[in-house]
């Protein structure tokens, strides 16, 4: 069996992007749970920042690279994960719709008050569950197989694609904007050092 280098920059980038997405989702959960516990003075702008971050970063940058490059390469090498990869790609497509629903629910809460809160809260909990499960499948089911089946030439393509993303964002200053948004989310979310709900 050929020895393969198991360290790939694309996997580091994916892992880091998942961690950031988890923090944004954890912030959303903290936001709605604290309202449920009686704190109705939360600044809705912070929730909008979380939604915007998720729309602009994972939805627009992270997921397309997974679909177009990583998942495509895995499918070239094996069909054992076709069903799982198709399901994940469908979830990528649905993600945008779910974010729209969260925007709507937030607006209804903003203008409808307490009566609209339950729906908003339920959608956030569902969204968190959906995304944690999605990332867990990628990390526990897809990436380990990718490490086994992709060859060095495949990894060069995958790594280059994810690195290019980072470089493009640096050139345009886009990454700075994301970092600023992420810093705001982190400063709002107090449970960062106590683990996330991801494994629940």
The residues that touch Fe ion, with contacts defined as CB under 5 A, are 66, 138
DSSP result, 48-93: HHHHHHHHHTIIIIIHHHIIIIIIHHHHHH-STTHHHHHHHHHHHH
Report, in Å, the least distance between residue 58 CB and Fe ion. Answer: 7
Contact indicator for 152, 158 with CB cutoff of 8 Å: no
Alpha-carbon span 134 to 25, nearest angstrom: 13
Report, in Å, the least distance between residue 5 CB and Fe ion. Answer: 22
Shorter beta-carbon distance to Fe ion: residue 46 or 88: 88
Report, in Å, the least distance between residue 116 CB and Fe ion. Answer: 30
Shorter beta-carbon distance to Fe ion: residue 23 or 32: 23
Shorter beta-carbon distance to Fe ion: residue 11 or 106: 11
Alpha-carbon span 153 to 170, nearest angstrom: 26
Report, in Å, the least distance between residue 37 CB and Fe ion. Answer: 31
Shorter beta-carbon distance to Fe ion: residue 54 or 106: 54
End-to-end Cα separation, the chain, in angstroms: 37
How many beta carbons lie within 10 A of that of residue 106, not counting itself? Answer: 20
Q: Which two tokens stand for residue 63?
A: 């997921």
**DSSP-based three-state secondary structure for 4:** coil
Report, in Å, the least distance between residue 70 CB and Fe ion. Answer: 9
Shorter beta-carbon distance to Fe ion: residue 43 or 90: 90
């Amino acid at each position: 069996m050929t020895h393969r280098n198991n360290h790939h920059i694309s996997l580091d980038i994916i892992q880091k992007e998942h961690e950031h997405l988890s923090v944004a989702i954890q912030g959303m959960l903290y936001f709605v749970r604290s309202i449920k516990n009686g704190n109705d003075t939360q600044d809705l702008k912070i929730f909008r920042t979380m939604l915007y971050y998720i729309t602009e970063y994972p939805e627009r940058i992270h997921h397309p690279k997974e679909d177009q490059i990583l998942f495509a390469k895995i499918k070239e090498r094996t069909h054992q994960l076709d069903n799982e990869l198709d399901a994940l790609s469908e979830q990528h497509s649905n993600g945008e719709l779910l974010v729209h629903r969260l925007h709507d629910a937030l607006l209804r809460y903003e203008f409808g008050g307490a009566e609209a809160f339950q729906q908003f809260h339920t959608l956030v909990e569902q969204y968190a569950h959906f995304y944690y499960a999605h990332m867990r499948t990628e990390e526990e089911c897809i990436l380990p197989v990718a490490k086994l089946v992709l060859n060095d030439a495949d990894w060069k393509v995958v790594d280059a694609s994810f690195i290019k993303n980072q470089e493009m964002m640096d050139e345009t200053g886009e990454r700075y904007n994301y970092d600023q948004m992420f810093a705001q989310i982190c400063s709002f979310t107090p449970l960062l050092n106590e683990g996330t709900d991801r494994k629940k």
